Each structure stands twice: as structure tokens, then as C-alpha cells.
Amino acid sequence: MRRPFTHLGLGIGLRIAMSSQGEKGHVSLSELPQPAQSPRRPFSRLAPLKWILTLVFASAVCYTFQPATGGIQALWDERDGHVETAALCPQATALSPETNTGLFKTLAETYKTDSFLYRAVELLGGAVRIPTQSYDDLGPIGEDPRWETFGPFHDYLLKAYPQIHATLKLTKVNTYGLVYVWKGTEESLKPLLLTAHQDVVPVNPDTYDSWTHPPFSGYFDGKYVWGRGSRDDKSGLIGIMTAVELLLEKNFQPARTLVLAFGFDEEVSGRRGASALGDYLLSTYGENAFAMLVDEGGSISEQYGGTFALPSVAEKGYIDVRVEMAAPGGHSSVPPVHTTIGMLAELLVHYENNPIEAKLSRGTPTYWHAECLAAHAPELPSSIRSSMKKASSSDKALKAAQDELFKDPTFKALVGTTQAIDIIGGGVKSNALPENAMAVINHRIATDSSVGAVQEHVIAAFKDLAAKFNLSFTAFGTSITGDAPAYGSLALSDAWGTALEPAPVTPTGANAAPFQLLSGTIKSTFNAHRDLTEDGIAVIPSLVSGNTDTRYYWTLTPHIFRYTHYNAGNGSGLSGVHTINEACDAQNFIEMIRFFTTLILNVDESTAL
């Protein structure tokens, strides 16, 4: 915002003029620009006017380009390039409730008490003690008894959250899906939707002895709550429920309806849980009915000397390609030059050696992520920062930034379409030629690509080799080679029929009110939890590496955020998740509860959603 010219601006302009030659804010008078001198004529009467005009101009420059919080340091930083890079990734201001300031402050004091800490860890520990494991081979609900573990979990929630179950309307969808509705007083306001999942990844019984504390103990050692699901995702579910219970205990009544939806098979793609919940919410509320949605996802991370919150604003697509090879069998004593296994091996090696090229493209979440690192990561290599400042208009600069950023294999994997050969099979006996061989190739599809693009790439990669081995070639239900006689066959298909396009990209930027509100809430929570008087975190758009239940909620709102307000420090945010020694830092869990409380109150007060 441009500010009016004032006498203070004139003083700032003088300081800028003084700092233009030497170290910031330090310069000798001899270094100041001097009026022109000439022995053949006296000092000009206009010299003082020139000085005044110089100072006025400097002051005007300061007030034209100064950010809202910049001050004199802002212009110094502009000289060093920092203001220029900061414009790549503008930040929202911290946002705290105003109408409910008293309630907010009361709860903030509650979060600091030991009694609340022990209450919170016991709530999470109790949830962990119920092993709600979901398996890939689960049969229909009502027939497979392994589903029945969710019954005791529902009983636990009923006992642990009496205010919620006395006040909110509960609907069970497809037996174990949970939808809680806290009806607001203003029906014209779009509801807030918070989601999580009840199920956890199974624990391999062979690893039980490797756990520091048993995987379903919910043990609290004074710092961590241990056990499967303590991070993924019972901390999210219990964090949401605890925040709502606290608000109810303080007699809060929302103006905006709040909806909670908890699936029960996210770890096996949500086909029975979130899928049914999505259909129910769509039929009940309609398309684009919710102001915004927050599900599990990105965390808080320290990178390149900065602290960042990483809400995911999109998800990659997904397809498992099944490759099937068939050829005549026979006795292995008279083998062909290549068996089906040999041919398949050559195809797979060729495929691995010719991946889909990863490319950092403008207008994608990973490009925005790179821009924000350039703007707010103090230890980011200067070459990347310099390149990203020019990348919006220079292909050369974009390529230079990409080359440097791709030295981090994790970032490169997030940008591009990945491939991984994860399953292979073939042959039944050592002296019998294998008549069939197969493999499954997993692909995570870049946000600016598509399922069709991946299918085209696979076909192109295998077509010449199919001809080389004289194989008929069928791909995704279409014959590629026609009906010509062949030695054998090669067939490609969607392995499980679960191909998924990349998710719609959530709007970000200054005009995206939900993103701005989420960002302000994150900043407020982070700062308040640490008693910071200045901003301590930057919020940058990102991606999660996998898929969440939100795949079934795309029609409910364009404003979908996958974000878990968990402080992973300099780790990946996934330490212990899906493996041994999963544990949740208790203080981080308290901060998560604070985040959900702040979010609910901020959304309730917002007039921009």
C-alpha cells in the first residue's frame, strides 16, 4: 500500500541517500554526493534546491516501493535483491479471532497447562490402543470380521467426547464412516469441512520386538505418544475432536456450520469409506457447497535455514500399469533365445532407462514452491535464488533453476511423473519354459500431466520391443499391432482399475480467500505457540507424496488443503509413519489442537469465504 508523503519519509529518504555508498546505514560525509564545484564560477544558488529535490525523490521512492512491514530495512534489502524475491511469494499476515478474542485467550492459557497436556495425550493414547488396521484384502463389510474393530473405536469416541455426541448430529455412512454436523446459526454461510481417517496401516507382527514401546500401547513417555496411528492419522482425528469438545465446553455457538467427516479405509484407497462419505456429502449439500476443506497432509519443516508450513494444494495422479507377456511353453532343455521372463526383463530395463522427463513448469504447485524457497529460504543457494527471480520470463533461467533443484531427488520426484516396478511374477518350474510373465509398474502422475499421457508413454516405450520379439501388442483395450500372426503377446492394462487423474489445483494467491485464511491461521498458531512477537514461519504451496481421501471430495469445494500442523523440524514429516516406532510429539499434538481451534474460529468469523 502506498503511504502519503510525510516529514518522516523525508528523513528516511536522507538515510537512504546516506546508505547508498557504504555499509548499511554507515557512511562518512565525504562519501555523500557533493554539489558540482568549478573554480571559474561561484557555488550555484540552485544547489540547495537540488538537494531538496534529491531527498524528496528518495523519500518518494521509499514510500512507493516499501512493503507494509518493510521500513528502512526493506529498501536496503531491495538493493540486495530480497524485496524483489519476496514479491515471488507474498505472505499473509497472522490471523487471530477478533469477535471471540476472550474465548481464544482463555483456550490459549488452557493449552499451556500440564493438566491439559495429560488430558490430550490420554485422548490420543486411548485412540491408538484400538488397532483399527485396514488390509488390502478386506472383504465386504458385514462379512469380513476384521472390519468390526471400528465398532469399539466408535464406542471410545462416544465416551471420550460427551459434549460432541450430545450436541452434534452424527450420521454413520456405510456402517463405519462418521459425519458429525455442528449446525451454525447462519444458514447462508458455506460450511467448513474437516476430514481425517480412522484406520491405520497394519503392523507386521514380526516387527513387534523392534518397537521401543508396543505398537498399540499408546504409551506416553513424557515427550512422545507411541503407537501405530499416533501420527497417521489419529492425531488429526483426535486433534479435531478435541478442539471441538473444548469449544463446546466453553459454550461456543458457531455462526457457520462445521462438518466433520472421518473415513475408515484411507490406507487402502478409501473405496468403501471416503468414497461413500463423498457421495453422502454431495447428495446432502450439493456441489461446491463448502467454504473450504482441510484434510491430513503437509507439515511444518525446516529447509535451507527457514521454517515453512507446507499445505498441499494438489495431488499427483496415479496409475498401476500391468504388463503381461505370453509365449509358447515347452521343456527348458530346448529353449528359445528369449523366454517370456527374458523378454519382460528387457522391456522393463528399457522402461527404467527411458523415464518420463521431469520438468519444472510455470503455474504448477512445485514451481510456486520453488518461488517461495527463493523468497524466504535464507540459505538457499544464491544461484537458485537468482534463477528463480528471472524464471517467470526466461526459459534459460527456469532450466538453470530446475537443474539445481533437481539435485534434490525428493523435489525432482514431486515435480515429475515417477515410475516404480513394484511387482513381478512368472514361471512355475525350473525345467518348464514360462508361458506367462507379468509385472506391475506404479506411476505417480505430475500435476501438469494426465493418465492418458502416461498411457501414451508406456505404449511408445514398448512398441518397438514388441515388434522386435514378434509380439502382438494390446494396450488398454486397443490393439496396437493389429491381427498379424505373432510369436507371443504383450498386453498393457490398468492393473486394478483405479487410475486417478491429478487433483484439481487449489487456488492460491492474494485473491484466494481460503488460502489466505489458512495461511494466516498457520502463522497465528505457530507464533502464539512459541510466544513470538514477529512472524516465525512462511507458508508455501506444496504437494504431499501420496494420495489422501480428498480424491473423493473434489466436487464439494475447489478449496481443498491437505495439511497437518505437525512440526517435523528438519525431518521429512514422515519419520516412523507406516513403519516401526511411529510416535507423536506431545507438544506438537497440543499445537495441532491449537491450530484446529484457531481455524474453526477464524473461519467462523470470516466474511470473505
- Radius of gyration in angstroms for the set of CA atoms belonging to the chain, rounded to a whole number: 30
What is the spatial distance between Cα 126 and Cα 160, in angstroms, rounded to a whole number?
Answer: 9
**Residue for grid cell 467426547:** 161
| Cβ atoms 370, 360 nearer than 8 A | yes
Q: Which of 245, 265, 266, 448 is catalytic?
A: 266
209 is catalytic: no
3-state secondary structure of 207: helix
Question: CA-based diameter of the chain, in Å?
Answer: 111
Nearest in space to 386 (alpha carbons), one of 17, 85, 11, 59: 85
At residue 369, the 3 state secondary structure works out as helix
Q: Are 134 and 270 in contact (CB under 8 A)?
A: no
- Report CA 269 to chain centroid distance, whole Å: 18
Q: CA neighbours within 13 Å on the CB side: how many for 604? A: 27
CA distances from 177 to 57, 149, 154, 277 (A): 65, 13, 10, 7
Residue 419 amino acid letter? Q
The CA-atom distances, in angstroms, between 282 and each of 170, 278, 319, 506, 606 are 17, 6, 26, 19, 24
DSSP string, 250-287: TT---SS-EEEEEES-GGGTTTTTHHHHHHHHHHHH-T
Tell me the C-alpha distance between 457 and 416, whole Å. 14
Residue 470 region by backbone torsions, left for phi larger than 0, else alpha for psi between -120 and 50, else beta? left
Q: Determine how β-strand 478-479 pairs with β-strand 471-475.
A: antiparallel
Q: How many angstroms from the chain centroid is the CA of residue 157?
A: 28
Yes or no: say if 157 and 241 are a contact pair by the CB < 8 Å rule.
Answer: yes
Contacts of 409 (CB under 8 A, 6+ apart): none
- Residue 415's contacts (CB-CB under 8 Å, 6 or more residues apart) are 358, 359, 360, 364, 366, 405, 406, 446
Residue of 199, 232, 265, 296 marked active site: 199
* 300 close to 526: Cβ distance less than 8 angstroms: yes
Cell (9 digits) for 154: 466408535
Q: How many CB atoms are located within 10 Å of the residue 213 CB?
A: 16
Decide: 505 and 447 in contact? Cβ < 8 Å: yes
**Hey, which residues are catalytic here?**
199, 266
